[in-house]
Amino acid sequence: MNERPVAWLYDELPGLVSMGILSADDADRLRQHYGPVAVETRRNLGLAICAILGSTLIGLGTILLFAHNWDDLSRPARTVLSFTPLVLGQILVGWTLTKRLESIPWREGSALFLMAGIGCAIALIGQTYHIPGNMGAFLLTWMLLSVPLVYLVDASVPGALYWVGLTAWAGFVQDEGGQAVLFWPLAAVMAPHLWNAIRKDPYGFRAVALTWSLGLCLCVATGITLEKETPGLWIVVYSGLFATSYLLGHYAFASAPRLWQRPLHVLGAAGVVVVGLILTFEDPWEDIGWSHARHGAAYHQWAAIGDCVLAIGLLAASAVLLTWLVRKKRFDTVPFGLAGLVSLLGFALVAVGTPEEVGMILFNAYLFALGIIVLALGIHRGELATVNGGLLILAALIVTRFFDLNLSFTLRGIAFIAIGAGFLSANLLVRRKGEIQ
Amino acid sequence: MKNAVRLSFFAVLVIAQLAVPAWMIVSREWTLRQGNTFKFHTAPVDPYDPFRGRYVALRLEPDEARAPVETQLDYNQRMVAVLETDAEGYAKVSELRLEPPPEGDFIRVHAWPRDATMVGIHWPFDRYYMDERLAPEAEKAYRDHNLREERNAHVTVRVRSGNAVLEDLFIENVPVREYVLREMKEK
């Protein structure tokens, strides 16, 4: 059940009773019917943020104190010291579970403190026994010992940090010559918690914060976990990822009231434009495809299959979502939603031996069309933000071409003035349209 | 989830959270108390770890060994380095192999093929943690000493059943902490 409307209704009830629209008994019956709600109020949210900030600062401070390395202390003293924050955190979480389970600030704060305590304990033991670098193993142990807290204490900030930790782990593992394909099943461990938060209140702070964390981590981790055995496959994977993210945002979170409450939509659109701009240069299209496959001891053949699965999976997901949205007459989602399929076309053409310029020209045309369509949509709907978005895409495309092409200063100057005039006149047009309406 | 069930799961988690660091301590204490001692030549430098603080990074020698015959090695291949002591009392690798030997001291290492005959070794100890004030001084002292005389820095490592724990870092046969404090006093 989405609890936000119920919380709104509960806020309204006293007023309705005092105005005589409902009797006190009716109000009680409504409360009994819908049951208690756990939607964050402003005060609760403030308290939770304070608890999270406080626990983070104390946790980081403890890690820094330990990092000083008090080598005057004996090994037994350091052993006791390494367990102290861990045990303190466990006591706090135990107390929260028995006495304050309903309190979001206590749940989030204590779980976060325990998470920091686990990191401190492993770090200090590593320091005492001069355990080798291996930051990957350190982070993985830390994250795996922390993630059950998300479910036991129902705390979301440790969950969001778990994804950040996993992303860092993936980076270190790949850097040390390993393969971090395990990132995907490990990241999925948090999926039920995210699903539960979305089900309760899709636009609440908890669901939105978790989705932002996951979305940002996926932007980084996808590139890290790719084995890159087939050069250029990242083009399809990243375009597919951002197109899927954008379409999923429209499919599942279309009625989000504010922009910050649409993480998938924002990340997807921004990602499509950024990747699109990169692909308007010639370099990413050089020597790509299966005929340039990389071999050697540093490449894991089995992991390369994962790259193909990811590319196919993301393309299929974006195609399914796009079909569903088109059937619902959401044609406005098509321009961004096509990014995955356009990249597949470009990749396939260049991989089979078509000149590299074809991919570059394809994406220049795609971004130009994208900018024009977004601009037209904005003018049609009278949405100033969309108009400026379309103009920004066009401006970014033209500016990047100026660094790329050998055009005269006069021509560049005229084009910049034209873009500026375009911005001003489009804004004026939309404002006038709004005033008339 | 009922609170009794939640608390039972939490109890299991508490045990796991205590057991992992406890095991890290016990296994290393066991090696430090029961293991045989080997000396490795080393060259210290001073970097930084955001979680564990400042340390002296170590480049241990020997950093390569003869490749095992007729064995195809991957990059970062897990291997076993069988240890012996040379005439000067320092550790040397008598053999690199894929499986532990039936007897003798050995350390589990990562290796990669350098050329047709030699294999590079990555030892499982690459850092010696120190007080944040002393670590840069240790590196400086080593560098100064290296300019004046022939290099003389080594670490002692305890080895038991394939597990290795770094025991101490020495400069001029003096434990590094004592050496650095002495140098600082002399200034």
What integer is the mean pLDDT of A390-409? 78
Q: What is the pLDDT of residues A337-373, one digit of tens each?
A: 999 999 999 999 988 888 888 888 899 889 989 998 9
If pLDDT is split at 50, 70 and 90, which confidence band does A143 have? very high
Predicted confidence at residue A215, as pLDDT, reads 94
Question: Tell me, what's the pLDDT at A24?
Answer: 82
Using one digit for the tens of pLDDT, what is the confidence trace for B118-137? 888 888 887 888 877 777 77
Q: What is the mean pLDDT of residues B59-63?
A: 84
Residue B18 at interface with chain A, using a CB cutoff of 8 Å: yes
Residue A401 main-chain phi, psi, to 5 deg: -65, -30
Query: Does the CB of A67 have a partner CB in chain B at under 8 Å?
Result: yes
Q: Are residues B52 and B40 in the same domain?
A: yes
| Average of per-residue pLDDT across A190-205 | 90
Work out the minimum CA distance from B26 to partner chain A, whole angstroms: 11
Of the candidates A63, A119, A177, which has its C-beta nearest B76's C-beta?
Answer: A177
pLDDT of A397 > 90? The answer is no
Confidence class of residue A7 from pLDDT cuts 50, 70 and 90?
A: confident
Lowest mean pLDDT among A61-65, A236-240, B29-33, B157-161: A61-65
Res B149 pLDDT > 80:
no
Q: Answer yes or no: do B4 and B59 share one domain.
A: no
pLDDT at A3: 65
Q: Which of A184-188, A369-373, A397-401, B109-113 has the lowest mean pLDDT?
A: A397-401
Could you read off the pLDDT of B6-54 as tens digits, one per residue? 889 999 999 999 999 999 889 888 988 888 888 888 766 656 655 566 7
Residue B101, min C-alpha distance to chain A (Å): 24
Chain-chain contact of B113 with A297 (C-beta, under 8 angstroms): yes
CB contact under 8 A, B49 and A67: yes
- Do both B39 and B76 map to the same domain? yes
In the predicted model, what is the mean pLDDT of residues B46-75? 73
Q: Which residue of B has its CA nearest to A79?
A: B25
How large is the average pLDDT for residues A305-331? Answer: 91
Provide the CB-side half-sphere exposure for A223 (13 A, CA): 12
Chain A residue closest in CA terms to B128 = A130
- CB-closest option in B9, B20, B125 to A130: B125
Question: According to the model, what pLDDT value does residue A43 have?
Answer: 63
pLDDT in the model for residue A248: 94
Return the pLDDT at A299.
64
User: Chain B: residue nearest A145 by CA?
Assistant: B17
Give me the residue from B9, B21, B127 closest to A132, CB to CB: B127
SS3 letters for A166-182? Answer: HHHHHHHHHHCCCCCCC
Structure tokens at A395: 């401006």
| Shortest CA gap A5–chain B (Å) | 25
Pick from A129, A141, A169, A295 the residue to mutate for testing the B interface (most B CBs within 10 Å): A129
What is the pLDDT, as a whole number, of residue A323?
Answer: 94
Q: Does A21 touch chain B (CB under 8 A)?
A: no
In the predicted model, what is the mean pLDDT of residues A260-284?
Answer: 91
Domain co-membership, B114 together with B181: yes
Does residue B62 have a cis peptide bond before it, meaning omega lies within 30 degrees of 0? yes
Q: In what order do the strands lie in the sheet with B106-113?
A: B64-66, B118-122, B106-113, B77-85, B91-97
d(CA A327, CA A194): 28
The CA distance from B85 to the nearest CA of chain A, in Å, is: 23
Lowest mean pLDDT among A29-43, A49-63, A156-170, B138-152: B138-152
Range of the domain at B27: 1-34
- Residues B14 and B81 both lie in one domain: no
Q: Do B130 and A71 touch (CB under 8 A)?
A: yes
Per-residue confidence (pLDDT) for residue A175, from 0 to 100: 81
pLDDT at A271: 95
Share of chain A above pLDDT 90, in %: 36
Amino acid at the residue B167: E
Q: What are phi and psi of B80, to 5 degrees?
A: -125, 125
Instruction: Mean pLDDT check: name the lowest of A46-55, A296-305, A335-344, A384-393.
Output: A296-305
Query: Which chain B residues touch A298 with a CB distance below 8 Å?
Result: 75
Return the pLDDT at A133: 62
pLDDT higher than threshold 80 for residue B140: no
pLDDT at residue number A434: 64
The amino acid at residue A102 is E
Question: Which of B6, B13, B52 is facing A127, going by the closest CB pair?
Answer: B52
Q: Inform me whether the pLDDT recorded for A289 exceeds 70.
A: yes
- Higher-confidence residue: A193 or B145? A193
- What are the pLDDT digits (tens) for A23-52? 888 888 888 888 766 555 556 667 777 777
Question: Rounded distance, CA B159 to CA B146, Å?
Answer: 28
Those residues whose C-beta lies under 8 Å from the C-beta of residue A43, and which sit 6 or more positions away, are none
> According to DSSP H, which parts of A282-300 are helical?
none
Whether A63 sits inside 8 A of B13 (CB atoms) is: no
Please name the residues between 115 and 144 in chain A that touch chain B, using a CB distance below 8 Å.
118-119, 121-133, 135, 138, 141
Residues B70 and B53 in one domain: yes
Taking an 8 Å cut-off on Cβ atoms, the answer to whether B125 and A132 are in contact is yes
Contact A97 B3 (CB under 8 A): yes
Q: What percent of chain A stands above pLDDT 70?
A: 89
In whole numbers, what is the pLDDT of chain A averaged over residues?
A: 84
Q: What percent of chain B lies above the pLDDT cut of 70? A: 86
Which of A199-203, A219-223, A432-436 is least confident? A432-436
If one counts the domains in chain B, the total is 2
- Residue ranges of domains in chain A: 1-37, 226-437
A91 to chain B, any CB pair closer than 8 A? The answer is no
Q: Is residue A398 pLDDT above 60, yes or no?
A: yes
**Using one digit for the tens of pLDDT, what is the confidence trace for A112-121?**
999 999 998 8
Q: How far is A97 from chain B (nearest CA, A)?
A: 7
User: What pLDDT score was predicted for residue A282?
Assistant: 84
Both B39 and B20 in one domain: the answer is no
Residues B48 and B117 in one domain: yes
In terms of pLDDT, which residue wins out, A433 or A24? A24
Residue A300: pLDDT above 70? Answer: no
As a whole number of angstroms, the distance between CA A281 and CA A272 comes to: 15
